[in-house]
Chains A and B, each alone.
Chain A
């Protein structure tokens, strides 16, 4: 048995575990001070050192073995660690691991790209004579309809979109989780949040967005905040439903008996159970936000002075039949982002689910 555990675990932890295992006997009649916690080197008769019959003469075989209560506790033990299992399970999904490396490289490259590109995205000049030059040594991704360098635009847009997508996604998930936790746990506020949810949800979000774009401004910051303010709904509802499942579990009752405050119950007792679902939602929200941004740009609700992936895609629609590269470059990048987060999100959320652990 001891051999088995050794194989599975790195050495230092194994040694620690074995010591931890030397459980005192639950039967309180045993005097713990006499229990020997040292390794059993000097005791060849010790239980786990015997491996075959030859070890001792037959007469000895039929003598009573020394009774060691710690050994009794050992039988049911499994050496399992939650986060280690999560990580191991995640690493098993090769495609997710590869794609996350690709994405990481892509994101880092958006910071290097401006340094090596020949044109600065902030000082691109409109020149009709240079329009639609196919990719070549001078213009690596060619030029757009206004004769601007496409390479610098694409990488700037990628960085801007990723940063926008990540911050908006985090924002909406954090807001959604907080609202969902309170909505689900505090019975008195259930009615209020349900009505608020209905109020926001029953009007198409695009109408709110149009109103905000018209009344305030179309800058990325404003629209990003607007996206956060209207996209928490799904997460909140999902979180609330899960909280209802966990709310009256006995461990929460126990916390209430101990006088634990609401905030602590929510974040120590319930939040950790939702991690799997939250990570999945977060991962899917990132490509979702990029798609959303594209839609908003398409409808003219976003400021188009600086490039984003959405703007590039929108601009390309008039020309891509004649100049396919205009569409292909941003499309490839959007695809990489979408596929990565889809795979990573699924893999990680599966890995987080204890049912998938052994």
Chain B
């Protein structure tokens, strides 16, 4: 199933190809307006885009930038309350904005098809997978009976699903997430469309599966000569797939160009900010250049450049007039006043240069070359011994965490990395005692805190251990004021003398996380995701904890906001001497923030090492597969990488039982004697 990426790309050659052609689809001055309970929202603000045959165009933007809405216009799938109020979309000699629903049937699916984000909701759970693909085949290719069935088998095989005869008869719930997405892609390409729109097709999938799906899309494109529009918020994915990149902000394309131009020579301050804020380009131990604020609210009228209020390079005119589009090269256009001849000359920020220079390796500073295991004074804070967590009982018993051992030392950031369902969140929750553990024990400063413990101990543990949650939308009580949310812990243990002291504490912690004291009288829904996440952090900080379990604290946030939260966590670590258990699935973030990393697979930690050591000498095949799949925001490197696929059957544990062993100081691997010997040899070389 391993699908190799094509080797080095020649973007210049592609640019020439594109320039020589007429656009396949041409959207001019498109404006889309939604009506929401009487209020008008302009989601797309007069933007234009040309699509050329055979190319892969990636559209990048934060949530609310209008990237999905814009492309939905190309398939006539705008929601009922939305309409195209201006502009034209020319395709095949026709203006798509003027098509009737009947005419759309000849275009949608046949000529222009779409793959959406969540494979679970785009498949019908009551029909077999084969039947659903065959429907598309019958409808669009006019085949019937046996021929249609044969064609379906062929398509299933072409999207990398083995044993198509058996798979044909199965239902969507019998498929894994990645397999389901393959089926959705199969349906979309069943009628050999000319244009395929992929709307965040891999966002809900794990990195290793994501890499496979990306490779599949790329192969299908080559085989069928499709033109692909790829919508994503992940710059690593963009680097992997795109020939051309369009950056959207506030309902407009603000920069468009060949992938190498946008990544290495961008000229819109938003693109600069977006790239600079990537943790991959961060210097460990230093602050990431974060973008302040939040994306614009499209209910308000936007004057000038939508990005201006957040733009450190904003000119006075940015607040007054919308910038025109300036050409940088024949294929590269930027919508920013900064490119005007009258504007002051500025250089691109450092981080942009760094992207090209560092070749995908983070800058190593003193902070990064610090080796925790050489520190003689380090003391264990949390010890997890032989922890096992099972859910259900009897035949339905499910082992979520399987005999896991690790120690977190005081003052470090310990990361737990794994795919969804690997048990990483369960471990975090078991440590803070939301989930009970089945066997084993958890020690906090040498004292057992799992199982039944005394009341005083219980209070002590609650006060010294806190948790930060993944989804800032779900982790705050919507119906309580910020003041109550933050003081909840204070109320529970009456940690204040009088009302005045309580309020002072709330104000202090709000300031600490970078929010204004006045915010305490508001409700959470008034805040953006990043602000809400900071409120959640304030809620745990007010307990004066020593140890915080951060459960994917940034994965639900927009790219531009992630850096704010990462900076805050690092800042708190320094100023309060906190210790973190950082749970994540994104290795690039983990490398930036952590001192030591544990890789978990199917409830078992397979490898544990110091951060840089793990990236330099990954030993376990699963770690290697995970590392190879991490998207890198450098198109040349990303496209040249070879994907490794982890196959658990390489381990033969039938005779020789595996053990958890420290191979070199502070580098642990799970393996049997033969494997461990191999790993040792690997490290020596």
Contacts and interface: CB of A to CB of B under 8 A. Distances in A.
Nearest to A19: B518
Contacts of A63: 315-316, 344
Interface stretch (A21-29, A303-311, A316-324, A329-337): A21-29
Given A47-B319, A258-B539, A273 B337 contact: no
A24 B522 CA distance: 16
Interface stretch (A153-161, A170-178, A247-255): A247-255
Given A62-B316, A250-B469, A253-B467, A20 B518 contact: yes
Interface stretch (A64-72, A129-137, A288-296): A64-72
A26 B290 contact: yes
A232 B122 CA distance: 40
B343 interface: yes
B303 interface: yes
Interface stretch (A74-82, A102-110, A138-146, A189-197): A74-82
B525 A80 contact: yes
Given A64-B315, A80-B526, A53 B292 contact: no
Interface size class of A (residues with CB under 8 A): 35 or more
Given A23-B515, A25-B514, A251 B292 contact: no
A244 interface: no
B320 A61 contact: yes
B293 A75 contact: yes
Interface stretch (B9-17, B113-121, B153-161, B484-492): B484-492
Contact of A50 (B320, B434, B475): B320
Contacts of A257: 432, 434, 462, 465-467, 540
A52 interface: yes
Nearest to A258: B489
B514 A61 contact: no
B271 interface: no
A76 B528 contact: yes
B108 interface: no
A79 B527 CA distance: 10
A202 interface: no
B124 interface: no
A82 B492 contact: no
Given A26-B534, A250-B470, A76 B297 contact: yes
Interface in B564-611: 564, 567-568, 571
A347 to B, nearest CB: 15
A52 B316 CA distance: 11
Contact of B39 (A47, A256, A358): A358
A50 B316 CA distance: 8
B478 A354 contact: yes
A60 B317 CA distance: 8
Interface string B642-679: 00000000000000000000000000000000000000
B385 interface: no
Given A51-B320, A258-B462, A273-B479, A65 B467 contact: no
A72 B269 CA distance: 14
Contacts of B290: 26-27
A60 B543 contact: no
Contacts of B309: 47, 68, 71-72, 74-75
B61 interface: no
A354 B526 CA distance: 13
Contact of B292 (A27, A250, A258, A268): A27
Contacts of A55: 320
Interface in B71-93: none
Contacts of A10: none
A65 B536 CA distance: 34
Nearest to A21: B516
B249 to A, nearest CB: 11
Interface in B238-294: 287, 289-294
B474 A250 contact: yes
B61 to A, nearest CB: 15
Interface string B498-527: 000000000000010011101100110110
A135 B311 CA distance: 79
Nearest to A252: B477
A253 B469 contact: yes
B488 A256 contact: no
Contact of A72 (B293, B301, B303): B293
Contacts of A36: none
Contact of B475 (A65, A251, A256): A251
A45 to B, nearest CB: 7
Contact of A82 (B300, B477, B525, B539): B525
B130 interface: no
Contacts of A100: none
B293 A82 contact: no
B295 interface: yes
A75 B295 contact: yes
B55 interface: no
A45 B314 CA distance: 13
B43 to A, nearest CB: 15
Interface in A240-295: 249-251, 253-261, 264, 268-269, 272-273
Contact of A79 (B287, B302, B310, B526): B526
Nearest to A261: B492
Contacts of A53: 317, 320-321
Contacts of B476: 251
B681 interface: no
A4 interface: yes
Given A24-B516, A47-B309, A63-B344, A69 B292 contact: yes
Contacts of A77: 294, 297, 526
Contact of A4 (B301, B314, B321): B301
B383 interface: no
A8 B154 CA distance: 59
A216 interface: no
Contact of A67 (B297, B314, B429, B471): B314
B516 A22 contact: yes
Interface in A1-35: 1, 4-5, 19-20, 22-29
Contact of B519 (A20, A68, A74, A259): A20
A205 interface: no
Nearest to A45: B316
Interface string A105-137: 000000000000000000000000000000000
22 contacts: A20-B516, A26-B568, A27-B292, A59-B342, A62-B315, A62-B342, A64-B314, A64-B344, A67-B311, A67-B314, A72-B291, A75-B294, A79-B526, A80-B526, A251-B478, A254-B475, A258-B488, A258-B489, A259-B462, A259-B489, A269-B480, A273-B478
Closest 6 CB pairs of A and B: A72-B293, A76-B294, A272-B479, A72-B292, A250-B475, A259-B462
Given A61-B320, A61-B342, A67-B311, 14 more contacts: A23-B516, A24-B511, A26-B534, A27-B564, A28-B571, A69-B292, A73-B292, A75-B297, A75-B310, A76-B295, A82-B523, A255-B477, A257-B540, A258-B466
Interface of B: 36-37, 39, 287, 289-297, 299-303, 308-321, 337, 340, 342-344, 429, 432, 434, 458-459, 462, 465-467, 469-471, 474-480, 484, 488-489, 491-493, 511, 514-516, 518-519, 522-523, 525-526, 528, 530-531, 534, 536, 539-540, 543, 564, 567-568, 571
